């Protein structure tokens, strides 16, 4: 609670004209502490020094570049101190668009949501890479497949092996071997970097996309990275977004590459949430994963 009080005091000291009655701490995220004021303003405080001094200012710059260009609401920071080490924006009211919630939407609303997301990605991916330049001139890049394979072997394989059987573990090994040597993408773009259900918000009336939040993982990389999570909503959803995004068919392996990123995401969930059925349906992932692996390993990129 001492930390929470200190965060609230930083807000009051930095923005004395901002009047509020109630502050609530959202401490769920790994990268940021979040303070919500009167259910109207969201203040994000990066935890790590590198995030405060380098990454958060980049997020502010990227969002400023998207302001007015995004087809859907995104965070618009209006309270930023001179040090640019934290900031606040008007709350985007909505709920995370989880798999069951998306599945319950009427088909026309699903299409509207997917169209809006495809249009947003076209805008994000068209940004100049200079928006990613940190104060030291460095531009964050997506990890390579080999980097992910090395982390799998050194850190992830053992805990995942406690959840999956030996045969599936061997297939995951084969996947990472293939993922590490996949051909480079035809182009690199500015990616949102973390487009998952927790960052895509559905409106309270469940009739539209309320907005997309958290651009803190934006980096330079394969555009297919931002399409990975759509497979969680089903193959038709992923195909719909890809077709809307790539109207001319100039990137024929977009979805095949995105499937690889999605498989890696699912494997990561097995490690991170093993035994936590309330967060992730482990058994559903285990049922789905073998078919995904077979499809990826049998599809040339």
**Residue 79 sits in the same domain as residue 110:** no
235-238 CB contacts, 8 Å cutoff, 24+ apart: 237/102, 237/110, 237/114
Q: Mind listing the pLDDT tens digit for each residue in 22-72? A: 999 987 777 899 999 999 999 999 998 888 888 999 999 999 999 999 999
Lowest mean pLDDT among 102-106, 241-245, 296-300: 296-300
**Residue 128 sits in the same domain as residue 235:** yes
**Residue 122 sits in the same domain as residue 200:** yes
Planar angle of CA 279, 285, 290, nearest 5 degrees? 165
The secondary structure of residue 187, as a DSSP letter, is -
Which one is predicted more confidently, 14 or 135?
Answer: 14
**Residue 115 sits in the same domain as residue 204:** yes
pLDDT score for 271: 80
| Residue 6, number of CB atoms within 10 A of its CB | 10
CA distance 215 to 127: 13
**Residue 170 sits in the same domain as residue 68:** no
Domain count, the chain: 2
Q: Which domain holds residue 157?
A: 95-297
The secondary structure of residue 152, as a DSSP letter, is I
Lowest mean pLDDT among 37-41, 161-165, 230-234, 268-272: 268-272
CA distance 7 to 81: 13
CA distance 239 to 227: 9
| % of the chain surpassing 70 pLDDT | 97
**Residue 72 sits in the same domain as residue 120:** no
Q: What is the CATH number of the domain that holds 217?
A: 3.90.1200.10
**Residue 252 sits in the same domain as residue 138:** yes
- What tokens appear for 294 in the block? 């077979």
Q: What is the CATH number of the domain that holds 48?
A: 3.30.200.20
**Residue 45 sits in the same domain as residue 72:** yes
Instruction: Estimate the crossing angle of helix 235-245 against helix 107-125, to 10 degrees.
Output: 50
pLDDT score for 279: 64
Q: Mind listing the pLDDT tens digit for each residue in 92-147? A: 999 999 999 999 999 999 999 999 999 999 999 999 999 999 999 999 999 999 99
């Amino acid at each position: 609670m001492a930390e929470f009080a200190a965060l609230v005091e930083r807000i009051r000291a930095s923005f004395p004209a901002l009047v509020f009655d109630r502050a609530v701490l959202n401490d769920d995220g790994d990268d940021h502490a979040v303070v919500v004021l009167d259910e109207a303003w969201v203040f994000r405080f990066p935890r790590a020094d590198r995030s405060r001094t380098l990454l958060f200012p980049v997020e502010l710059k990227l969002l400023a570049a998207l302001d007015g260009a995004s087809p859907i609401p995104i965070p618009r920071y209006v309270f930023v101190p001179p040090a640019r080490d934290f900031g606040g924006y008007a709350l985007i009211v909505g709920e995370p668009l989880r798999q069951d919630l998306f599945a319950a939407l009427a088909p026309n609303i699903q299409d509207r949501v997917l169209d809006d997301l495809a249009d947003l990605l076209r805008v994000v991916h068209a940004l100049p890479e200079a928006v990613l330049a940190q104060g030291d001139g460095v531009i964050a890049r997506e990890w390579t497949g080999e980097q992910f394979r090395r982390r799998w072997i050194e850190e992830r394989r053992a805990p995942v092996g406690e959840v999956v059987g030996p045969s599936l573990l061997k297939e995951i090994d084969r996947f990472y071997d293939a993922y590490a040597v996949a051909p480079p993408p035809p182009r690199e773009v500015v990616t949102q970097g973390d487009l998952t259900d927790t960052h895509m918000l559905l409106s309270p009336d469940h009739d539209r996309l309320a907005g997309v939040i958290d651009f803190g993982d934006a980096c330079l990389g394969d555009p297919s990275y931002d399409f990975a999570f759509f497979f969680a909503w089903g193959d038709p959803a992923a195909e719909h977004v890809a077709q809307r995004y790539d109207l001319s068919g100039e990137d024929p392996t977009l979805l095949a590459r995105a499937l690889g990123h999605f498989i890696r995401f699912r494997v990561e969930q097995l490690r991170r949430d093993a035994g936590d059925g309330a967060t992730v349906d482990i058994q559903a992932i285990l049922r789905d994963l073998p078919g995904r692996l077979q499809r990826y390993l049998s599809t040339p990129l």
